[in-house]
Structure 1
Amino acid sequence: MQFKSLKSRISVIFLSLILVIQVLSSIAIKLSIDKNARRSVNQQLEVGERVFLNLLQNNGESLSVGARILAADFGFKAAIASNDHETILSALINHQSRINADIAIFYSPNQNSLVISENLSENEVSEKIAEVIYTAQSDTQKNNFTIFKNQPYQLVAVPVKAPLTIGWVVMGFKINNSLANTLHKLSNLEVTFISQAGKNPWHSTASTMSVSASEQIVKYTTERHAFNKSNNLELTIGDVAFGTRYVSIFKNINESLYVVLQRSIDEATAPFQTLLLNFLILSIVGMLIFIVSILYVSRIVAQPIVELANTARKLEQGDYTFNVDVSRKDELGKLSSAFSSMRTAIADRERSITRLAYWDEMTGLPNRASFMKELNIAINKSEINHEPLSVLVMNLDRFKQINNVLGHDFGNQLLHAVSIRISQVFRKDNDVVARTSGDEFAVLLPATDASLAVNIAQKLLQAFEKPIQLEDNFVDISAGIGIASYPVHGNQIEQLLNFAEVAMQVSKAQKSGPVVFQPSFDVGSNVNLTLVSELKKSIYNNELSVFVQPKVNLQSRAVRSVEALIRWKHPTRGMIFPDQFIPFAEQTGLIRDVTLWMIAEAAKVSVAWLQKGMSIPIAVNISARDLIDSDFPNKVAEILKATGSNTSLISLEVTESSIMDDPHRAKQTLLHLSEMGIKLAIDDFGTGYSSLSYLKELPVSELKIDKSFVMHIEASQNDRIIVNSTIELAHNMGLHVVAEGVENIDAWKSLQEMGCDYGQGYYMSRPIPISDFETWYQQWA
């Protein structure tokens, strides 16, 4: 067929397509409905068969129970013994009525006696009853069926014993319309009983269907022997198709009885016909809408223009890899050629813009935007592969001073040299190194957890141990490094990079090497902002508590002093330990209030103990912010005066790192405190960057070895050497030594042998509330 216009071609093709789809869909749905309906009918017939067999079983059990009751009746046995037929018949009729049976028979082969409740002759009954009794002798629970005068019965035979068998009680139900209607109600199926006795033709004994329908079933059975075929048949009665199932009730040489179960296929498909009708209506409506749309579109749009529209759409999406067909020679061909030229020009400009947008020209590394893009891709990949990843952020120390002293050009050269040295440390195929701001670099480490990232960061710092040479200048480089990991610390790209930067700031402030992010670092988080406010309120409302841990003389076992430890029992969050709120208290400056509160509480407790005869000094930890506060000693003096305490009952402990933040101001504060008579101690010795040569200039009288060295002195020879050497050097400088982390008797004895003065740890006591200390003290003494 030839079409004069593109419009006609589009319209006819699409209209033909939609018509074919609709017709095929309708046929497929119709066939599916018919198939499912017939499957459903067959399933209902199978269920109906099981229901019918259960019904017969229940009837048989009912008959059996009734017959046994009669067979056990003493009066009935007496009537049998006296051969009183009238009494026997009366008992049969009464019991038959009681259990709603249709027939009751007593048969005694010995006495040649036969009593029948129904109007049946002995000749009609005797032979068949003998067969029933013969069958029952082997299985009294078995249901028996027989036909009297073309009426089928379900029979049960029970022996009458006194104690030997003197006869049999036989009871039964008719296979009639009552049974058919009961089965119809239970299964919602049409039920017809058909039977044949001797040479008599097949006939219907009971049915839930009309007489004419029953006759058609009998005719079909007679002509085609349907009961010899497969279980499920399809039989048309009148104009209605029925799923049909023949179920054999009993069959012997002379007699047969079947139940024919039927379900109308039309009724089974009726609910689906409504669904099919609705589908057809919706299809017609949809097809009309589609026809209108196709006619409209085909009228106003031609295929070449559609192609150019697709080209423009690809350009809009940033896809410049396709080729534009410029083979046409007409106006559309010229338009296509213009599109091709435009694609090439835009692609070139896009590459230039992308380079500027995602790369740092100075170092040749990806910039922050590119790093964020790669981080987003890496997080999605890690989520799929269930792998961790880490972000490492490094910020150079003293870069501003270098810029100011040596100039910006030199600073730019230094940044380029730093980027080269950083790139040499990492895996080029997997790791992403980027310059995220002026003197800050970030590294993406796929498939790397925080512990492995720390090892990599240590290698990075080692790479900068050798100075960088630029012309005639050698520059020593140091840096703070922060680490955050997915998914432990966060699953958002901005959040993860921000956490790494927060950890980097902590690293620069503490000069402690690589630092892994902790939630307590993030003062800006909602939780910590809330905790800051609540901590300030708790300090002024005196809601904090003091725990103490004793320091014991390792030689005499005497309690020399205790260390005060703060605890915060939050009303809703429960117990909050110091490592959860002290870091952000230090960042916000709130640590000064915490320290003064602790000194005040310690002073009050020491005075109370002294009044009870316990002269036990209490040591309080102070922070770097306290050391750079020139007025701190005066505040301590005011507290001691207000509480009635004295400087012999209070000592202060300060960490190495807090002294090294500002050594000059820290030294001045410590000298002032020492002049007041307060004893000072260096806490956590061995974890910072100080040395004994510097510490000898400070007015301290005690040195506490960090527990990280003490806890493993039995297993680690290196730790044992470090602890022993520290004790000897400290003693040579006139300092007492306290070993933290004494966990067992073996550590105690080892420290005794080394000459350590005091021990502190779980072996003696865990941190305990002030209220429990006196009990512990008495037990220890």
Structure 2
Amino acid sequence: MTGFTNLMRSSLKARLIATFLGLLLVVQLAGFSALRASLASHAQQELPARLDVGDRVLHSLLSQRAQKLTDGARLLAADYGFREAIHSKDTDTIVSALENHGRRIGATRVALYDTALTLQASTGTHLETLGPLAARLSGRVMRPGNAIDSTTSEIGLLSGQPYQFVMVPIKAPVVVGWVMMGFPIGERLVSDMQALAAVQVTLLTRSPDSPVWQVKLSSLPSETNDGLSLHGWQSVPADARMVSVTANGEEFGVHPRWLTADSDNGSVLALTSLSVDAATRVPHDLQVALLATTVISCLVFGIGSSLTAHRMITPLNQLAAAADRLGAGDYATPIGDDDRRDEIGQLSQSFERMRISVSAQKEEILKLAYWDTLTGLPNRAQFRDAVSSAIATAQKHSDTQGASGRGSVAVLMLDLDRFKHVNDVLGYRFGDLLLMQVAQRLAQHAVRGGDMVARLGGDEFAILLRNGDAELAQTVAQRIASAFDAPLTLEEHTVDMGAGIGMACWPQHASDADMLLSRAEVAMYSAKHRSAGALMYDPTIDAASAQTLSLLTEMRQAVSDHQLRLYLQPKLSLSTGAVVGAEALVRWQHPQRGLVPPMQFIPFAEQTGFIRVLTMWIFEEAARHWRTLHAEGLMITLSVNLSTRDLLDQDLPQKFDALLVKHQVPAEALCLEITESAIMDDPQRAQATLDKLSALGFKLSIDDFGTGYSSLAYLKRLPVDELKIDQSFVKSMQADPDDAKIVRSTIDLAHNLGLTVVAEGVENARVWDMLRELNCDQAQGYHMGKPMPADAFANWSVGWLTQHRPVDVVSAFMLH
């Protein structure tokens, strides 16, 4: 069974054949059931009629026998010698005559009665019990209106056996006696009934003193007769056509006929019956024919189904094989049979269209995966494969030639100078034109046949020198520098372009392709950092890189282990001398290296993006300390610096607002400082972030004003409240009149725009006085106070107020 189930699950052909054969069997069973139902309905209609016919045949047979007995009795009654013997009372002659006539017609019981119905002579025994029967028969003959020579018959029991009796008068010429003849009812009646009416006959008798019916003769088996005899026939109406009786587990239709009902010597009941089950049963020859038809139909359907399934499954198997080929990456072999126009043909054609589409998409994907769409050069993935292949070839060459034939591979990686500036100034379209011209120059001037130029991404290019060593790499680098000596022309614009170039060789600097590319990239970034033009890889460069990786790990640990410290540098009012604010700065208290200066980790944090973590730490610490200072009665504004990466974070306002709610600090208590360069890197996104921060209530300040590439139009649109003059101008304004003019102009510009002006780098009293004369609002610098731990700021403020009496002391305790 399990094997068949598995076959059905795994084979569509087997399921199709099974389905067809199953449908055929269902149809055959439905037809057979309909035939059975029709036969049953026909039998229910036909059985009563057949039983009526059987009853009439029974009645006719009994009538014919009665007539035969009557004729025999009349011959005896008309016999002269018999009448003489009666007249002379010759008993022997009378008995002899009775026996002879009875034997002649088959009557086993013959009797002579006088006119008083007294038995005078007889053949057989127990005839003396038939007195009542004789009286009834003679009474019927002598009934008024009947002819004197008429006869009558009746069924009666004699010694428990059924007999058919007739009685005729003996006339000479008046009635001088009566002759009765009895004919036993036996198997002959049963055989005649089956021959003439094709029905079953059962004769039941019951003695007067017993309620039990006895079966005297029957054409049915004894087990069935027992069931018939137990039926309650007394309650069946006399005119019932058919009674349904179950005997021996089989249903019969029975027509009862009372031959003698409750006479003095018992009752006789004749039952004509037919089997309902046999009548509704499908004939054997029809069953054989149906079975043969079913077997032949199954064979025909099986063969037809197999051929049909084969025609369906074969193309499906071909499509499955084609799908396997597609799955294995074979998109070149065509699929399908164009000659088919059915659903399978349509499916095959759909597969073929899919193959063509997937093949085209694969080619496009491979092109995108291995080629740069802008320049047409190989991309990083193809370049890496080419480097791996070149190394494998060189390694194989070294293995076959020995040390004397040792091969080498060189990789040059270059990054264009000032490319972002070109994009910002001229736009991305000109940037794309620039990259295409660079690709052309590299392909024309920098490589030999068999070498490869690739664009790795952005403004990075790479060159593979097969069988190239360090000397050849240096030569190619010089050719690249020479190629960039001539300016690039972009429509009406002329652009001077240079590049930082890093070089690495296999096997001197790396053991595999990934390491070779990595070290060439390290050399390239080192060359750009040192402005060295071209630089060959050196292990000391990797040491610096390892230190950088270590620094990032240590910075993460510094945040989690609370190694960072918040420092505050005071900001004072130039008009009153009051402490009005402070700039929040971060210091790193390293457990081994001590206090790490900001310049040793802040630039790296900005480069790696970790500056966002530091900004959130500084902001939360500033909010917490402002809360403490406010509780001590010091009303100041704390300034927090934001980097370019912070401004590009669109979720920054929500993060700051959550921290304000956490520490219950108003937004007006904090001033956010941003540099000009941070704004100009992406002015639209920066302004969107600043607008959100301003809407929350933060004060905004532009830090290091005058050192960037600021646009007055952006300055006008930005929601800033404060402008900080860079300390490079403030420190030298005492000695350099030009710087003093720049400071004055900046102050006037800020005031005209409604901004507060803060001067950084105030390191002596003379600069303080000059700024005060120029109406600068606030000052910050070492002259007033260096950056100090936040916990020491409150004490410093008290000391400052004690030593320097401000013009309006009350203003020192007001929120500026």
Scaled by the length of structure 2, the TM-score of the pair is 0.38
Scaled by the length of structure 1, the TM-score of the pair is 0.40
